A = this chain, B = another copy of it.
Amino acid sequence: MNTSISLDDFDRRLLRLLQIDTQRSVAAIAEAVGLSAPACYRRIRRLREEGVIEREIAIVRPRTLGWPLSMIVMVTLEREGARTIDEMIRLFALEPEVVEAWNVTGDHDLAVRIVARDMEGYDELATRLFSANEHVRSFKTLVVIRHVKPLSPVPVE
C-alpha cells in the first residue's frame, strides 16, 4: 500500500487536529500548525492517499437515532478457528446493530459492541446471533451504564 510512510512534525500536528475535527477550515488549521494553506492541503491529501488517514466520518450519538441501549457482549466460540471466526465476521457484517467487534485472547473469543432500541430488541438479536448459533458455546452480556471515555484520537508521537 505504501513504501515508507514518514511523518514529520507538521504531519503529526495535522493528524492530531484532524482526528478531533475535520470540519475546521484549512485556513484555521494552517494557522494552527504553522504552514500556508496550500502546504496543508498538499499534506492532508498525501495523508489520505497514503492511507494514514483511513477515512473521514460523521459521529452520531446512537441515542439520538433511537438506540439508547448499548451492550458489550463477550462471546465464547465452540471450536475457535479461522473458519469459525470468519463465519462470525460474515454474520456481524450483516447486522447493523453490531457496531464494532474484536477477536480477543482470554476466556472469551470475541468482544462485540451492540446498540439496541430496548431490551426486547436486544434479546431478539442476541438470540439470533448467539443463542441460536451453533458456533457459539456461550456469551455474556455487559450492559453499558455510561460511556466513560468517548472515542479519542490515536496518540501521535
Judge whether A57 and B18 touch: CB under 8 Å. yes
**Residue A132, interface by CB 8 Å:** no
Interface residues of A in 12-47 (CB under 8 A from B): 15, 18-23
Q: How many copies does the complex hold?
A: 2
Contact A149 B64 (CB under 8 A): no
Tell me, in angstroms, the Cα distance from A19 to B102 when the chains sit together.
20
A124: Cβ under 8 A from any B Cβ: no
If the complex has contacts A111-B142, A148-B101, A149-B100, are A54 and B65 also in contact, measured as CB distance less than 8 A? Answer: no
Q: Which residues of B contact A152 (CB under 8 A)?
A: 96, 98-100
Residue in chain B with minimal CB distance to A144: B102
Most B-side CB within 10 Å, residue of A53, A70, A85, A112: A53
Contact of A148 among B56, B89, B143 (CB under 8 A): B89
Contacts of A92 in B (CB 8 A): 148-149
Rounded to whole angstroms, the CA-CA distance of A98 and B18 in the bound complex is 18
